[in-house]
Amino acid sequence: MPEPIDISLIIPAYNEAARIAQTIHEAQTFFGARGYAYEIIVSADGTDGTRECVAELARTDPALRVIGQAARRGKGRGIREGVALAQGAIIGFVDADNKTPIAEFDKFAPYLRQGFAVVIGSRGLRDSQIERRQPWFRQIGSKGFAIFMHTVVGLNAISDTQCGFKFFQRRAAQELFGRQRIDGYMFDVEILFLADRLGYRIAQVPIRWRDDGDSRLVLLGGNIQNVKDIFRIRFGF
């Protein structure tokens, strides 16, 4: 029988050929040093060679695989497709650009052992370490978004819904992502909204985080879609 997998790590990537190998290497090194049986699923859309790069790396690591297409289909969809393939007892996702180092998982492991279904990184807690902040205009936009999102959706106890460092017990991941519909950036809000409605215990953990200055959000069109998705999450249309 195949060895049970402790952790499935999903890395959504859109045109990340310049950085994906380093992110994968850091995850491989971390899991290996901790003795975790792991798999890494890179969900790579785009046309810059990211999928081909990961496929080449996978030739020497059977725990690594890549999915995705040339068309940009959304971060939420990419993670949803990764979760459907994942076999780990714990399933999580991290950003391809390593905004939060994988070593921060050491802070998450105790909560997962305690049985929390959802453990999320938060930049909004007192002990969080922000090593490089976003530009001022993005900070203002993020605060405005948070006010709008909490007003419409709720989730008032969650200080940071958007940090791309989240881990789930397998059963919770399968149920939440099985219900998820939002393909774009607001999938984080949807997942937490569903988790709250279904009564899953959610732990928030302060993390190290650094902005890389390379946002893929199209400011006007992307934010209009985000507003639509927030209403869709809340009212189900």
Position 1 in a domain: no
pLDDT tens profile 17-59: 999 999 999 999 999 999 999 999 999 999 999 999 999 999 9
Higher pLDDT, 7 or 220: 7
Position 169 in a domain: yes
Full domain range(s) for residue 65: 7-235
Position 96 in a domain: yes
Report the C-alpha gap between 208 and 191 in whole angstroms.
Answer: 22
Summarize the confidence of residues 133-148 as an average pLDDT.
78
Percent of the chain's residues with pLDDT above 90: 82
Task: Identify the CATH number of the domain in which residue 152 sits.
Answer: 3.90.550.10
Summarize the confidence of residues 85-105 as an average pLDDT.
96
Distances, alpha carbon 27 to alpha carbons 19, 132, 229, in Å: 13, 22, 32
Q: How confident is the model at residue 212 (pLDDT cuts 50, 70, 90)?
A: confident
Cβ-contact 166, 118 below 8 angstroms: yes
Position 64 in a domain: yes
> Domain tally for the chain?
1
Q: How confident is the model at residue 222 (pLDDT cuts 50, 70, 90)?
A: low
Instruction: Determine the length of the chain.
Output: 237
**pLDDT value, residue 68:** 97
Position 75 in a domain: yes
Q: Which residues contact 97 (CB under 8 A, 6 or more apart)?
A: 16, 19, 23, 212, 214
**pLDDT value, residue 214:** 60
Report the C-alpha gap between 104 and 127 in whole angstroms.
Answer: 13
Q: How confident is the model at residue 185 (pLDDT cuts 50, 70, 90)?
A: very high
Q: How confident is the model at residue 224 (pLDDT cuts 50, 70, 90)?
A: confident
**pLDDT value, residue 41:** 98
Position 2 in a domain: no
pTM of the model: 0.92
Amino acid at 208: R
Report the C-alpha gap between 114 and 207 in whole angstroms.
Answer: 19
- The structure tokens listed for 119 are 């453990």
Q: Which residues contact 131 (CB under 8 A, 6 or more apart)?
A: 208, 209, 210
Give the DSSP letter of residue 102.
Answer: G
